[in-house]
Structure 1
């Protein structure tokens, strides 16, 4: 039986020239996030044309998954502490999706 899950689409725009500095902490953040109980999927992609632009796709088993993710030690340390200060801006959308997660 299908159920709803939370789909998150984040765009991270690094300050000019900082794309390379984001790859290692984002890779570490992805690995830690995939171990969270409510995480179903977490992957990020770097634009080949704009190397300071990253797209992050995340799926959580319920609507609280993203909020709980933001409270984890790894997001506090890597997200807020390391990655976000290197960003010019970030755009995060979340949507409840009906059906089976990928």
Structure 2
């Protein structure tokens, strides 16, 4: 039986006109996050209709993965230090996804 994992869906809304400024720090954050022991997946997507809106999809091997991610040096520096100050708002939800029962 496969192990359940934590799925995180984040919507980042940049302050008007700041979407371009998010690309580099999000790219660096994605690469660093993928190297975390509990990270299974990390990708971000930019809306073609609103260049200031990004969706980030993350998966962690257990429920503690997101909390541990937020404590990392790279999230403290890039997330709290660079990305979040450029945002109007962010909406983050997380959900446990059951593993295969077959």
TM-score (norm 1): 0.96
Question: Is residue 92 from structure 1 mapped to residue 92 from structure 2 by the alignment?
Answer: yes
Q: For 1:74-101, what per-residue CA distance to the aligned partner results, in whole angstroms no more than 9, with x for missing partners?
A: 000000000000000000000000025x
> Displacement, 1:2?
1.3
| Number of the residue aligned with 1:33 | 33
Question: Is residue 14 from structure 1 mapped to residue 20 from structure 2 by the alignment?
Answer: no
1:99 match: secondary structure: coil
Number of residue pairs the alignment of both structures matches: 100
> Displacement, 1:59?
0.2
| Number of the residue aligned with 1:69 | 69
CA RMSD of aligned residues (A): 0.7
Runs of 5+ unmatched residues, structure 2:
none
Structure 1 runs (4+) deviating above 4 angstroms are: none
Runs of 5+ unmatched residues, structure 1:
none
| Number of the residue aligned with 1:55 | 55
User: Structure 1 CA distance, aligned partners of 2:49 and 2:99?
Assistant: 33
1:37 match: secondary structure: coil
User: Structure 2 CA distance, aligned partners of 1:41 and 1:86?
Assistant: 24
User: Structure 2 CA distance, aligned partners of 1:90 and 1:99?
Assistant: 28
